[in-house]
Structure 1
Amino acid sequence: MVTIWVSEQIDPSGLLYACIACRDEAQARECVQSFEKNLTTEQKAAGWHVRLRTVASWDEVPSTALKLC
């Protein structure tokens, strides 16, 4: 089974703002840290958030994601 790590930055309405998918966990965690670091205090207060999740297939990755193999 392949594990694909999906780093996502999500706006207050739940829309995906930025997404990077890769098979390297360390790289994915760096992306999440970067997404989190780049959120302003105002964005965080408004409800922006970052999440890291895994999927088992590239078909489960959002089509707008930057895909790093």
Structure 2
Amino acid sequence: MTIWVNEQVDPCGLMYACIACCDETQAQECHESFEADLTETQKQAGWVARMRLVQSWDEVPVNSLKLD
């Protein structure tokens, strides 16, 4: 099983938002939304939107919204 994890992370490395799902299209749309929601000021300060793949729900952060 492949799970896409989308994270929005602040400059200190703290997760601001996280959504995990099994649908690649939905994951890509979520990533684009996370990226678009960051202002230029946030990006310059070090905020990032990242998408990563994991193989198990055990690898998904506990505080994430899980879509199946």
TM-score scaled by length of structure 1 = 0.96
Q: Which runs of 5+ in 1 are unaligned?
A: none
Identity of aligned residues (%): 65
Q: Which runs of 4+ in 1 moved over 6 A?
A: none
Counterpart check, 1:45 vs 2:34: no
Q: What's the C-alpha RMSD, in Å, of the aligned pairs?
A: 0.5
Distance 2:6 2:24 in 1: 10
Residue correspondences, number = 68
Counterpart check, 1:56 vs 2:55: yes
Q: Which runs of 5+ in 2 are unaligned?
A: none
Q: CA deviation at 1:4?
A: 0.4
Distance 1:3 1:48 in 2: 26
